[in-house]
Amino acid sequence: MIATLRNGFQRIADRIGAVWQSIWFQDGPTTPLEISRIGIGVALLVHYLFATPYLLTFWGDDGWMPRASLAEEYDAWAQSILFYLTAPWQLYVFHALFLACCVAFTLGWRTRWVKWAVLIGQISYDNRNPDMYYGVDSILACLLLILCFAPIGSALSLDRVREVRAAKLADLGAHPRRFSSPWAFACTRLMQIQMAVLFFYSAVGKVKGDQWMSGEAVWRVFASADYYNEFMLRILASNFWVVNVATYAVILIELAFPFMVWQRSSRPYLLAGAIFLHLQFALLMNLYYFSFVMMMGHMSFLFPQWLQRLGAAWKWRIGPMEMIYDGHCGFCKRSMAGFLAFDGLRQIQIRDFRTDPSDIVSDEQMKKALYLVLPDKRALPGFEAYRYVVLRVPGLWWMIPLFYIPIFSRLLGHPIYNWIAANRSRL
Amino acid sequence: MQQANRRGYRRLTYVAMSVLVAWHTFAMVIAPAPDSPVTEAARDLAQPYLTFFGLQHPWDFFAPTVGTGYRLSYVIEDAAGGKHTFRPGDRLNNLQPTAIWMKDHYNVIMTNSEKYGDAAGAAVCLEHASLNPVSVTLQEIQQDEFWPRDWLNGKRPTDAEFSEVKTLRTVTCPGR
């Protein structure tokens, strides 16, 4: 009897464990979170960069919120590093460090610790002047904390580039395994739940309001002092049905989102609806910062397979590219390792002409420069090879300005490349 | 032995991860929940965590009602007795992220003019020193309801008939 009961409980516990595991701990990549990281990093950087001229006004002792006023609302749990900075120069140093951390966070450089620095900085600004606290600051804090929990920096980051480069320095053909882990999946799930909870409570709040239920709320938004939009009022005044449709559509999207975004078949529609909604907030209500941060939160709903398919489609469109290099040249191998580390989609194949000569490019040609062979058998030498690649490998797009400045890039690029190629044995 | 240790470590990690996700989900759900004895008790439990990381928000954007809104205005009286009216919100560039903070600041001045009015008035005196200001009167312009028929009759929400001016405080400029 006891053994039967024990077996029954064991089966139930196993079943619960399996469900728990499938909800939280499947193996997953960090890529959706990395997209959120990059977007949130850019948003924070731009936002706080614009605040620089007002630094002392917003957060200084002689500004809008002297610390003495803050003491009246003191909460021991609401901490801020800025409570302990007294001189203006200290505030400027803090701000400069915070901006530097935002840059590092966006690029994914030393992400493991820099993400915490960004979170602490953001919370410090919020708590130093709570009167300036706005909905988007809360959203940012929620998303940043989840990103801090997550093992971000494992993809689409300089940390990943460093890891791949190190592996390629040992063996140019090496392809370090793409990172994925149950914890990355759990953190992605946390961000998804955060967004769903936000939409749910936002919808519930609206359903309670007469203005929303009578279908007139959208008119009120554009007629209000804060979001007055003459263009919209002109259209809506003579087409009030649009107001009704828009009001109910907002409720419908916000209410459907937390329930229907989980299913594979309905997710694309709900995600498109949510993004559309936030684009409207940005364009018609000037809520750019809020909308952008929300959209970055929604990136957690991207299926990794979608991103893989997108990458595969890009790779297919561009076609294979083969870089032929001199395997006897240490500098060539080192620079190739650095270059290939940015090729996250693995679009570039490599060939060492010393061990594996090419049918298309002769050894004599190869001794003068690196070559890129395209699917149509065209061979581009040296600078032109790099110029072709940087436009077609997304990880190298940051180099486009260097290689595509009209006239100057080619004018300077060719002699620089030729000099390096001629002196490569000494570098 | 080593394998058993590794298995034990893995199980401990799994439990720790499970506790963290469960706790954080609980905090996310309870933070914006409507007030009730149950949710308040639960929120009390999570409050230090919510406050410490700044996670507390009701997520009630434009709900349950959309306010008509109000704007800050101020009237500067110069030494010659002339009056100059300004609406600082009209000068904000909405493309600049700082506009949000400025609007928040103006709202704070209006909702708590006793606390912030003097400092705001002094700042305004300084900003408009070229006018030789004697005093600043802070005002709140409360917007009234505006409907499509008003628009079709050629009126605008910013017209005087759709707003109510409330004087908040008059501040004498420092040194006067």
B110 and B141 together in one domain: yes
Residue B156: which H helix or E strand, with range?
Answer: none
pLDDT-based confidence at residue B172 (cuts at 50, 70, 90): very high
The tally of domains found in chain A comes to 3
- Position B175 scores a pLDDT of 77
**How far apart are the CA of A110 and the nearest CA of chain B, in angstroms?**
22
B152 and B98 together in one domain: yes
B48 and B74 together in one domain: no
Percent of chain A whose predicted confidence (pLDDT) is above 70: 100
The CATH number of the domain holding residue A353 is 3.40.30
Q: Is residue B60 part of a domain?
A: no
Interchain pair A142, B66: CB under 8 A: no
Report whether A207 contacts A213 (CB < 8 A).
Answer: yes
Interchain pair B64, A206: CB under 8 A: yes
A44 and A149 together in one domain: yes
B13 and B77 together in one domain: no
**How far apart are the CA of A227 and the nearest CA of chain B, in angstroms?**
9
Interchain pair B63, A69: CB under 8 A: no
**How far apart are the CA of A154 and the nearest CA of chain B, in angstroms?**
19
Find the closest chain A residue to B50 by CA distance: A77
Residue A324: give the domain boundaries: 309-426
- How far apart are alpha carbons A250 and A206 in whole angstroms? 9
Nearest to B151 among A142, A201, A237 (CB): A237
Q: Is residue A298 part of a domain?
A: yes
Find the closest chain A residue to B121 by CA distance: A64
Q: Is residue A13 part of a domain?
A: no
Residue with the two structure tokens 């498109």: A272
Q: Is residue A293 part of a domain?
A: yes
A263 and A397 together in one domain: no
**How far apart are the CA of B4 and the nearest CA of chain A, in angstroms?**
21
Q: Is residue A188 part of a domain?
A: no
Structure pTM? Answer: 0.91
User: A268-306: per-residue pLDDT in tens?
Assistant: 999 999 999 999 999 999 899 999 999 999 999 999 999
- Position A58 scores a pLDDT of 86
Bridge partners, B73 (sequence order): B139
The tally of domains found in chain B comes to 2
Residue B97: give the domain boundaries: 70-172
Among A156, A111, A152, smallest CA distance to A395 is for A156
Residues 401-420, chain A: which have Cβ within 8 Å of B?
Answer: none
Q: Which of A133, A148, A180 is the last residue of a domain?
A: A180
B162 and B81 together in one domain: yes
- How far apart are alpha carbons A42 and A170 in whole angstroms? 34
Q: Is residue A10 part of a domain?
A: no
Instruction: Give the pLDDT mean for A221-231.
Output: 90
Residues 172-201, chain A: which have Cβ within 8 Å of B?
Answer: 182-183, 186, 189-190, 193-194, 197-198, 201
Q: Which of A272, A302, A332 is the last residue of a domain?
A: A302
Q: Is residue B140 part of a domain?
A: yes
- Position B108 scores a pLDDT of 85
The complex's ipTM works out to 0.90
Interchain pair A209, B151: CB under 8 A: no
Joined together, the tokens standing for residue A116 give: 């915490």
- Position B2 scores a pLDDT of 77
Q: Is residue B65 part of a domain?
A: no
Interchain pair B65, A209: CB under 8 A: yes
A250 and A374 together in one domain: no
Q: Is residue A169 part of a domain?
A: yes
pLDDT-based confidence at residue B49 (cuts at 50, 70, 90): very high
Q: Which residue of B47, B101, B152 is the best one to mutate when testing the A interface, meaning the one whose CB has the most A CBs within 10 A?
A: B101
- How far apart are alpha carbons A185 and A190 in whole angstroms? 9
**Mean pLDDT rounded to a whole number for chain A:** 92
Nearest to A226 among B51, B57, B69 (CB): B69
User: B114-144: per-residue pLDDT in tens?
Assistant: 888 888 888 899 889 999 999 999 999 998 9
A358 and A400 together in one domain: yes
Given a cut of 90, whether residue B113 has pLDDT beyond it is no
| Start-to-end CA span in chain A (Å) | 80
B9 and B82 together in one domain: no
Interchain pair B28, A142: CB under 8 A: yes
B104 and B42 together in one domain: no
Q: Is residue A240 part of a domain?
A: yes
Nearest to B57 among A79, A135, A224 (CB): A135
B76 and B159 together in one domain: yes
Find the closest chain B residue to A197 by CA distance: B29
Joined together, the tokens standing for residue B116 give: 């912030």
Report whether B28 contacts A194 (CB < 8 A).
Answer: yes
Q: Is residue B59 part of a domain?
A: no
User: B89-109: per-residue pLDDT in tens?
Assistant: 888 887 777 788 888 888 888
Residue B84: which H helix or E strand, with range?
Answer: strand B83-86
User: How, if at all, do strands A321-325 and A348-352 pair?
Assistant: parallel
Q: How many residues does chain B have?
A: 176
- Position B123 scores a pLDDT of 86
Q: Which of A252, A286, A302 is the last residue of a domain?
A: A302
- Position A36 scores a pLDDT of 97
Given a cut of 90, whether residue B41 has pLDDT beyond it is yes
Q: Is residue B58 part of a domain?
A: no
Interchain pair B143, A224: CB under 8 A: yes
Q: Is residue B107 part of a domain?
A: yes
**How far apart are the CA of A108 and the nearest CA of chain B, in angstroms?**
22
A78 and A167 together in one domain: yes
B99 and B39 together in one domain: no
Residues 278-297, chain A: which have Cβ within 8 Å of B?
Answer: 286, 288-290
- Position A1 scores a pLDDT of 76
pLDDT-based confidence at residue A3 (cuts at 50, 70, 90): confident
A114 and A215 together in one domain: no
Interchain pair B64, A135: CB under 8 A: no
A229 and A129 together in one domain: no
A95 and A151 together in one domain: yes
A298 and A313 together in one domain: no
User: A141-164: per-residue pLDDT in tens?
Assistant: 999 999 999 999 999 999 999 999
A176 and A35 together in one domain: yes
Given a cut of 90, whether residue A187 has pLDDT beyond it is yes
Instruction: Give the pLDDT mean for A230-255.
Output: 95
Given a cut of 90, whether residue B149 has pLDDT beyond it is yes
B122 and B37 together in one domain: no
- How far apart are alpha carbons A105 and A102 in whole angstroms? 5
A167 and A204 together in one domain: no
Joined together, the tokens standing for residue A211 give: 């203005």
Q: Give the DSSP letter string of A349-411.
A: EEEETTTS--SSS-HHHHHH--EEE-TTS-EEEHHHHHHHHHHH-GGGGGGHHHH-STTHHHH
pLDDT-based confidence at residue A123 (cuts at 50, 70, 90): very high
- Position A316 scores a pLDDT of 94
Q: How much helix, strand and coil, in percent to the nearest 5, is found in chain A? A: 70, 5, 25
B153 and B95 together in one domain: yes
Q: Which residue of A197, A218, A240, A294 is the best one to mutate when testing the B interface, meaning the one whose CB has the most B CBs within 10 A?
A: A197
**How far apart are the CA of B37 and the nearest CA of chain A, in angstroms?**
18
B135 and B162 together in one domain: yes
A165 and A234 together in one domain: no
Instruction: Give the pLDDT mean for A55-69.
Output: 84
Looking at per-residue pLDDT, the higher value among A124 and B5 belongs to A124
User: A304-326: per-residue pLDDT in tens?
Assistant: 999 999 999 999 999 999 999 88
